[in-house]
Chains A and B, each alone.
Chain A
């Protein structure tokens, strides 16, 4: 049990000033503007929006600045701020088929309607330092623009397989129910897919990546292909009660991954491909891909597969993926535990005392026995 402490106000105030100084660093170096972080650290901002579970690039940039670039601390700031805001309601489900695509690749089809679009990616870079960036003021090359636009809409790749009947169907359940919201209701297990997807969307990227990797390495039954990764802008629509019609609130950037997995079939289901799905705020491919691997692994129960490994166990995944909760519980160990520790100290002293007394008693008994014993070797 944790026993609260009080006092320490002066020291705590002093540490606030000290952390502010540490955050600022050398004052001879210009201070970062939030807009610079938003524009030039966009992938970091995307991660903060996902794990903070709040889409707002400006706030994500501010969180990163305030947290000195500590991603989990920044996510914590986002979560804390979110709790101060009223919720107006839920959007219409975003339609990723209508995405204004900036990047879209498939590992399953070379030629697919709409084509393969590399977009902005580090995939084909050499991972060599660009020292021109060190000097600043590096001229930005103007990217080429093709004469023709991309197709206005591109089919989602699993839907192509679906048309052939080779892909697990993906349809809303009867009545298209409102999704469970784990920020408002306690999660129970087994958790349905809407709960799992929400938890993974706000889950730690590193944790999801490790779990996804474990599935690929054999700790889970997964042999996936990237059906498609797409990145681009999607409209968010919301129906305010007082208006009664859908209002387009603007666009958010999303990354979607559709993983295509083998499935051997069962008595009732013919062999087919099955889906793993990942969706993330901003440009966040590693997150969306990891999420889609684990999404498929977590369907083990639905497909009657043995759930032998961590990535297949919803309780394990959902209880450990939230980095704000995990960091809170791990890091609370730093806080004063004086009373608990005094208790433990007292306990271990008592146990030792009792052990010594017991041992002393046993030695006496042995000595008594030895003197009675006639066999000389027993004295050794």
Chain B
């Protein structure tokens, strides 16, 4: 997403992280802070929309599974998690992390943990792009009847 807020960016990074990565991020805090689960992890769907021709009329492509969770930290901050898939544990931890990140300065430990995840995700994208680039092709058109 371009032109996004820091919170949108970390939500995107958390959504792409594996459960193990989120657990490791949360594990770095020691014990999880006290929090109320306002909306227990719930799996549902989001209808994915496309556009005819890529830019035209909207249409429903099909649904995708999504799991969400909402928590409230002791100081009243609300933490959210919305991510593709059906992982309730990841959703709850990510919601707590979202809550904590909102109260943390830019040099905080969670911020740097999220930055590490972002670096790893970017590296994976870069490698995929370089591998695809190795299959770039120039076909030559033969002259007919030559």
Contact = CB atoms under 8 A, between A and B. Distances in A.
B54 A54 contact: no
Contact of B52 (A97, A147, A277): A277
A249 B52 contact: no
A200 to B, nearest CB: 10
A173 B57 contact: yes
B61 A235 contact: no
Given A54-B45, A55-B63, A86-B44, A149 B133 contact: yes
Nearest to B78: A242
Contact of A170 (B54, B126, B130): B54
Q: Which of A93, A119, A198, A238 has the most CB of B within 10 A?
A: A93
B83 A249 contact: yes
B1 A281 contact: no
A47 interface: no
Contacts of A156: 53-55
A50 interface: yes
A237 interface: yes
Interface residues of B, number: 57
Interface in A59-112: 59, 82, 85-94, 96-97, 100-103, 110
A279 B48 CA distance: 11
Given A93-B49, A237-B1, A176 B130 contact: no
Nearest to B140: A110
Contacts of A315: none
Contact of B53 (A158, A173, A248): A158
A247 interface: yes
A170 B46 contact: no
A85 B131 contact: no
Contact of B46 (A90, A100, A110, A279): A90
Interface stretch (A12-20, A251-259, A335-343, A357-365): A251-259
B92 interface: no
B62 A256 contact: no
A250 B83 contact: yes
Contacts of B125: 100
B130 A145 contact: yes
Interface string A158-194: 1100000000001111001111111100000000011
Interface residues of A, number: 83
A236 B132 contact: no
Interface in B7-56: 8, 11-12, 15-16, 42-56
Nearest to A103: B132
Given A86-B42, A149-B133, A150-B133, A172 B48 contact: no
Interface of B: 1, 4-5, 8, 11-12, 15-16, 42-66, 68, 70, 80, 82-86, 125-139, 141
28 contacts: A49-B62, A56-B65, A86-B44, A91-B64, A93-B49, A93-B58, A94-B48, A100-B125, A118-B135, A145-B130, A148-B130, A149-B129, A149-B133, A156-B55, A158-B53, A171-B55, A171-B56, A172-B55, A179-B58, A193-B52, A197-B52, A236-B48, A236-B64, A236-B84, A238-B46, A248-B12, A250-B83, A277-B52
List the 6 shortest-distance A-B pairs measured between CB atoms, nearest first. A170-B53, A248-B12, A146-B133, A55-B64, A145-B130, A170-B56
Given A90-B47, A102-B132, 6 more contacts: A59-B86, A93-B58, A176-B58, A181-B47, A248-B4, A249-B46
